[in-house]
Chains A and B, each alone.
Chain A
Amino acid sequence: MSWQAVARKEFRDAIRSRWLHGSTLFFALFLGGAAALFFGVLIGPEGRQVSNLFGFFANLGVFSFSFPGLLALVLGFIALSTSYGSITGERETGSIKLLLSLPNSRLDAVVGKFLGRSAVVVAALLVGFLLAFVVLVATGTQLQLGSFVPQVALTALLGMAFVSIGLGISALAGSNREATLATMGLYLVFAVLWGSISEGIPKLINYAAGEVGAGGVSELTRVKLGVFLKYLNPLKAYETLAAELYYGAARARLVSATFGEQAALGPVLQDSVPVYFSGEFLLLVLLAWIGVPIVVGYWAFERADL
């Protein structure tokens, strides 16, 4: 197996790119800067704890905002940008012929690219978190390491998921242009449209059921199905898992829920969190977003003529 050789090449190549330097600087300013603003300026010395920022959730019932959610949006964008051209780009310039004339299998190429580009994204991310950590220590903030450290790991997983998605697109696309358009479209779906689609599907089912004279599903089932679909979005799965680290499972399911969802789910969550809403399930969703796109991408790339 020579995926190590490919991964090393990818890393050495990407680490010299201005894009990476830019995103590293961005993470440093974003995470370090936000920490400095919150703990250095906004919050008094007594109340300073990590959850003020890294577990910041505000929910207006119809609209919600969270710091982990914002971080996820930015990271998703940067990770996709790092990987969506990784195969189409090499095919268009022809450097893929150098890569594959060496004894690297196409699996080596896909795995090596995934690991190399993931390492680049995670490295940029870690620089940001490290700087934030320095600020936390310097401002005497209560560290909550039991939540903060797993959050860093979760964030790295989210970055890898989007590297994988970008790589999958790159393997499936016929050209850089196609890959760019598909990436932009998919990002729009993840970042903006997923919620509406998730709420829309159960409503559509009920509407269709009503049309044919069937009863449709109950209000509670409809909400559950909607939320379940929302959790399939890696951004949402990450945001919810991050909330769980600070506030526990039940509260985390409601931090960004709409009023309707809160009303319907509140009583259910009081008893216990159903398996299909559990932290384990959400983690599985996140891991699936890492695994499935590269498997699909490899499947397509393996069959393609260069």
Chain B
Amino acid sequence: MAAIELDGVTKRFEDVIAVSDLSLTVEEGEVFGFLGPNGAGKSTTINVLLDFVRPTAGTVTVLDHDAREESVAVRERTGVLPEGFDVYDRLTGRAHVEFAVDSKEVDADPDAVLERVGLGDAADRKAGGYSKGMRQRLALAMALVGDPDLLILDEPSSGLDPAGAKEMREIVLSEADRGTTVFFSSHILEQVEAVCDRVGILREGELVAVDSIDGLRAASDADATLRITVGAAVGDELLATLRELDGVSSVDHDGDDGLRVGCDSDAKTTVVTTLEDNGVPVDDFSTREASLEDLFLAYTEDSVSAAESFDDGASADEDATTEGTEVPR
């Protein structure tokens, strides 16, 4: 059964189209990562799920309820960590969670929930004095009250330090183990890869890809990059020959004694053989598998501004695998 079903959803704000004809299904029990540069429409999509904004066109069903007409029923079973929220400065952490308990009309122990997100010691302090990360944890605590069937987390790790982000990830995973459907948006790729069953990539309001991470990797033309250390100079003619090989997308000089070749894995050997056939000894080469960042950029590369705004998140991404490979003889 589907936990979230978006069908042809479009949202227009005056002269801007934030989301355009978006159709997406998230199955029950799934951990779904919603990926995209800032301004791609992630938050708008989440706001539509929660009835914070109303779609210009299309239908939205969450947990078998119409997101517009039966929003309260949706939110009764959904825990939400919104983006760009703030806390009530004068209320303590515990009062916030009590508000969630009251609103959801459940019987839950506020202190236990606060303990779980690591705010046990700060429960009696006014939330106005909380740091950004503590506010984020507090909202997560409010979301977790009443063991929701669906968690919607908008940029959950923003404001958290690496340890906090790891705790957040662990909580997400333990909720997923419990059978909770998790839908979260992020521009921090590392986090998406660590927890998600599937991801959707959003660009300028349009869904450009939905697949598992492995599936995306296989489908994407963000090829491996081959770095070759050569023992002799490579002339322009040879470069041109290499560029014409099947499966090779780019060939460039990389320093005095190196070449950088973008190609799919099957073409690696051909490139090396061609070099050697033309009298250029290959001293060493290494491949760098397409990282999530490359994948992401491959899907969003048309948009330069998108790639730029993505930089802050990409810096956290260190999962590019570099492997030294012996030269085949």
**Residues on A facing B (Cβ under 8 Å):** 2, 4-6, 8-9, 12-13, 16-17, 93-95, 97-98, 100-105, 305-306
Contact = CB atoms under 8 A, between A and B. Distances in A.
Contacts of B80: 101-102
B105 interface: yes
Interface in B82-129: 82-88, 90-91, 95-96, 99-100, 102-105
A95 B90 contact: no
B86 A93 contact: yes
B72 A104 contact: yes
Contacts of B54: 305
Given A13-B91, A104-B72, A306-B52, A8 B102 contact: yes
A193 to B, nearest CB: 35
Residue from B13, B75, B76 having most chain A Cβ neighbours under 10 A: B75
Contact of A103 (B47, B75, B88, B139): B75
A95 B86 contact: yes
B52 A97 contact: yes
Given A2-B103, A4-B102, A17-B90, A101 B50 contact: yes
Contacts of B102: 2, 4-5, 8-9
A101 B53 contact: no
A104 B85 CA distance: 16
B68 to A, nearest CB: 11
7 contacts: A13-B91, A97-B82, A101-B143, A102-B80, A103-B75, A305-B13, A306-B53
A94 B100 contact: no
B71 interface: yes
**Is chain A's binding surface mostly helix, strand, loop or mixed?**
helix
Interface string B37-57: 000000000010011111000
Given A9-B91, A95-B87, A305-B53, A102 B99 contact: yes
Nearest to A105: B72
Nearest to A100: B52
Contacts of B307: none
A251 to B, nearest CB: 47
B142 interface: yes
A9 B52 contact: no
A2 B100 CA distance: 10
B71 A105 contact: yes
Interface residues of B, number: 34
A17 B139 CA distance: 22
A180 B243 CA distance: 66
Contacts of B96: 98
A61 to B, nearest CB: 49
A12 B72 contact: no
Contact of A102 (B47, B83, B90, B100): B100
B103 A94 contact: no
A105 B53 CA distance: 14
A95 B86 CA distance: 4
A13 B88 contact: yes
A104 B75 CA distance: 8
Contacts of A105: 71-72
Given A6-B103, A305-B52, A306-B47, A98 B87 contact: yes
Given A94-B84, A98-B85, 19 more contacts: A5-B105, A6-B103, A9-B95, A12-B91, A97-B52, A97-B82, A98-B82, A101-B50, A101-B80, A102-B75, A102-B100, A102-B103, A103-B73, A103-B76, A103-B104, A103-B105, A104-B75, A305-B54, A306-B47
Contacts of B13: 305
Contacts of B85: 94-95, 97-98, 101
A305 B68 CA distance: 12
A94 B71 CA distance: 19
Contacts of A8: 99, 102
A104 to B, nearest CB: 5
Contacts of A2: 102-105
A4 B102 CA distance: 8
A192 to B, nearest CB: 34
Given A4-B102, A94-B85, A12 B47 contact: no
Given A98-B142, A102-B142, A5 B103 contact: yes
A8 B100 CA distance: 12
Contact of B72 (A6, A9, A98, A103): A103
B251 to A, nearest CB: 50
A104 B90 CA distance: 21
B93 to A, nearest CB: 13
B138 to A, nearest CB: 9
Nearest to B99: A9
Residue from B78, B80, B82, B84 having most chain A Cβ neighbours under 10 A: B82
A234 B47 CA distance: 39
Nearest to A112: B103
B90 A16 contact: yes
B88 A101 contact: no
B90 A13 contact: yes
Nearest to B50: A101
A168 to B, nearest CB: 21
Residue from A17, A94, A305 having most chain B Cβ neighbours under 10 A: A305
A103 B148 CA distance: 12
Contacts of B52: 97, 100, 305-306
Nearest to B82: A97
B99 A5 contact: yes
A6 B86 CA distance: 16
A159 to B, nearest CB: 22
Nearest to A93: B86
Nearest to A107: B72
Contacts of A95: 85-88
Contacts of A306: 47, 52-53
Nearest to B96: A98
